[in-house]
Amino acid sequence: MNKKIINIAVIAHVDAGKSTLVDAFLSQAGVFRANEEVKEQVMDSNDQERERGITIYSKNCAIEYNDYKINIVDTPGHADFSSEVERIMKTVDTVILLVDSSEGPMPQTRFVLSKALELGLKPILLINKIDKKDQRALEVVDEVLELFMELDANDEQLEFKTLFGIAREGIAQYSMDKESKDLSPLFETIIKQVGNYPLELVEQDAQLQISSLAYDSFIGRLGIGRLFKGTLKEGQQVSISKNDGSINREKISGLFVYQGLKRVSVKEAQAGDIVVISGIKDLTIGDTVNNVDKIDPLPPIIIEEPTMSMNFLVNTSPFAGKVGKFVTTRNIKERLDKELEVNVGLKVEALTDSSADGFKVLGRGELHLSVLIESMRREGFELGISRPEVVFKVGPNKEKLEPIEKVIVDVPSEYSGTVINKLNLRKGKMLDMDSDGVRDKVTYSVPTRGLIGFKSEFTNDTRGEGVMVKSLVGYEEYRGPIEGRNNGVLISMASGVSLPYALNNLEDRGILFIGPQVQVYDGMIVGLHSKDNDLEVNPTNAKKLTNTRSSGTDDAIKLTPPRKFTLEEALDFIEWDELVEVTPDDVRLRKKWLSSNERKQHRNDPH
């Protein structure tokens, strides 16, 4: 029973170095064996996290430093996973705010910092990557101080400690000119600021709030949270105060704490520690665990509402069921119900349209929902996904409100005019512009719906040299209609296999999405039309043979490589009358109504 327990969270914008800092914590605390091969960003254990290079799910680990146990929570930096950040804040004593020495505070920095300040936490600022050639660490400290003041930090919070470091090399130092060899200055600062968990709370009645959920195939659902008061024992009878006010009596069958990267079983856990309990089937986030005869529920954890929705439909294409294992409404419902148990930023509603077979899924953004779709695809699901739509609200005067995002773009000066023009067309409002003669940094306020499909355009317009970051700032009055995609699409009017001869003839019509020898069906989208209308084409058309043929008549046809879509790009591309067909092997584009006659009937129906 180690009574010196400290809980910390590492918060920052995407790519500031959170997971790298946690790697350094674990390494210097001796968690890894001397001969152990360790991956970078060891906490990013999920396949998609490693592929995308971002943290999606907050995760726990624990290290020993001197006679202290320090629980560390690695949090996501992307705005779409903010629900992961919100509930974790309640379980920690302090946060390490990581800021890039050249970028300074970014939009997501503001969000995660505001959550910490609202809960009364006093952050420790670590200016990371001070080895960069363009570092401006001291200026960045002033920018962070201004951000604290903008967020109404109290006097104590404004007296935050500042350190400088290189997370990749595991170095933290008290000042720019006071060099260090390891993270000792950061460890010492944490201990000095937080101190011991109050011992008198250990003697009180147990109080644990569930802040996240996990699932183990052997022992079932796991509830994770901080034990604020008292002690809990394996096999103990407890009362569970639910978010709806009801109280259940349950038994804790398993009790665990974190040790390094592992979850270890213990007989007893004490106040201050982050613990994991098993054996309670219907445990949900926000539930409070107390002693049976001493019920003392904590306020429920409130998560911000979703801002975007997509319809997850049963795949109705002619290729349905050829690859996937899970293709029915029941399969999809069971999987979404399972996701709801652990993904608190998600909501699922039944579709009101009787002609559609599926569910309306609401989340915190395109990335939040596309990560779920990608997970389902890899698990063997087949889905038809509709165009992303924002979630509108009604204001106090019955006015229509829509989600607004703050967008910061950093682009070479030669491309800034194009980007500014595009953002203006998407109902954006310029807030600030700064230039050093080579690159322009432009800040905009843009409706979320105006940013759907903008990312790929932005990459093309800036030749891949532009950087764009965005974060939700709230809801404002509806800014009016936004023009959609300017081009129509090429729609296959036949089923079969695409042939080089047919595709060669179609290249003059636009940009193709498929190559030769690809299975197509009637209603499948095979390319982007060069004009603004949809065009029905036959990619399976073969060259007619004649009786006489001379040598050299059939030279090899050279086709332009087709444009390939990632899942996110496909979701950005489609219009209201189109779907993305997602299977374990393929991501295809199709019309919602496959036959030409059906499309004519619904031509003017945007619903």
CATH topology of domain 5-197: Rossmann fold (3.40.50)
- Contact status, residue 309 vs residue 391, Cβ threshold 8 Å: yes
CATH 3.40.50.720 is right for the domain spanning 489-601? no
Among 485, 570, 501, CA closest to 534: 485
With bands split at pLDDT 50, 70 and 90, how would you rate the model's confidence at 115? confident
CATH number of 393-477, picked from 3.30.70.240, 3.90.380.10, 3.40.50.300, 3.40.50.970: 3.30.70.240
Residue 383: pLDDT above 90? yes
Report percent pLDDT > 70 for the chain. 89
Residue 605: pLDDT above 50? yes
Residue 587: pLDDT above 80? yes
Q: Has 15 been labeled as part of a binding site? A: yes
Q: Which of 174-183, 352-361, 597-606 has the highest mean pLDDT?
A: 174-183
Q: Rounded to an integer, what distance in angstroms lies between the CA atom of residue 377 and that of residue 370? A: 10
> What integer pLDDT is reported at residue 41 of this predicted model?
43
Structure-token pair, residue 601:
């009937």
Q: 43 — phi, psi (to 5°)?
A: -75, -25
Q: Rounded to an integer, what distance in angstroms lies between the CA atom of residue 42 and that of residue 248? A: 38
Domain boundaries of the chain, sorted by first residue: 5-197, 200-291, 393-477, 489-601
DSSP helix/strand/coil, 147 = helix
> What integer pLDDT is reported at residue 277 of this predicted model?
93
What number is the average pLDDT over the span 300-307?
Answer: 78
> What integer pLDDT is reported at residue 507 of this predicted model?
93
Q: Rounded to an integer, what distance in angstroms lies between the CA atom of residue 31 and that of residue 17? A: 20
Q: Has 129 been labeled as part of a binding site? A: yes
Residue 80: pLDDT above 60? no
- Contact status, residue 324 vs residue 583, Cβ threshold 8 Å: yes
> What integer pLDDT is reported at residue 347 of this predicted model?
92
Residue 72: pLDDT above 80? yes
Higher pLDDT, 349 or 49: 349
Q: Has 18 been labeled as part of a binding site? A: yes
With bands split at pLDDT 50, 70 and 90, how would you rate the model's confidence at 47? low
Structure-token pair, residue 506:
């179609």
> What integer pLDDT is reported at residue 343 of this predicted model?
78
Structure-token pair, residue 348:
């699922």
CATH topology of domain 200-291: Elongation Factor Tu (Ef-tu); domain 3 (2.40.30)
Q: Which one-letter DSSP state was computed for residue 83? A: H
Q: In CATH terms, are 393-477 and 489-601 the same topology?
A: no
With bands split at pLDDT 50, 70 and 90, how would you rate the model's confidence at 23? confident
> What integer pLDDT is reported at residue 36 of this predicted model?
44
With bands split at pLDDT 50, 70 and 90, how would you rate the model's confidence at 218? confident
What number is the average pLDDT over the span 295-316?
Answer: 87
Q: Has 75 been labeled as part of a binding site? A: no
With bands split at pLDDT 50, 70 and 90, how would you rate the model's confidence at 54? low
What number is the average pLDDT over the span 398-421?
Answer: 92
Report percent pLDDT > 90 for the chain. 48
Residue 319: pLDDT above 80? yes
Q: 224 — phi, psi (to 5°)?
A: -115, 135
- Contact status, residue 589 vs residue 514, Cβ threshold 8 Å: no
Other beta carbons less than 10 A from residue 333's beta carbon: 15
Sheet containing 161-166: which strands, arranged edge to edge? 59-65, 68-74, 5-12, 94-100, 124-128, 161-166, 171-173
DSSP helix/strand/coil, 116 = helix
Stretch among 171-185, 322-336, 341-355, 409-423 having the lowest mean pLDDT: 341-355
pLDDT tens-digit readout, 542-581: 887 665 554 444 457 888 999 999 888 899 899 989 999 9
Higher pLDDT, 296 or 484: 296
Q: 286 pairs with which residues across the strands?
A: none
Sheet containing 525-529: which strands, arranged edge to edge? 510-512, 525-529, 489-492, 535-537
Residue 584 identity (one-letter amino acid): P
Q: Has 20 been labeled as part of a binding site? A: yes
> What integer pLDDT is reported at residue 555 of this predicted model?
54
Q: Has 216 been labeled as part of a binding site? A: no
Stretch among 22-36, 114-128, 184-198, 516-530 having the lowest mean pLDDT: 22-36
Stretch among 48-62, 181-195, 301-315, 370-384 having the lowest mean pLDDT: 48-62
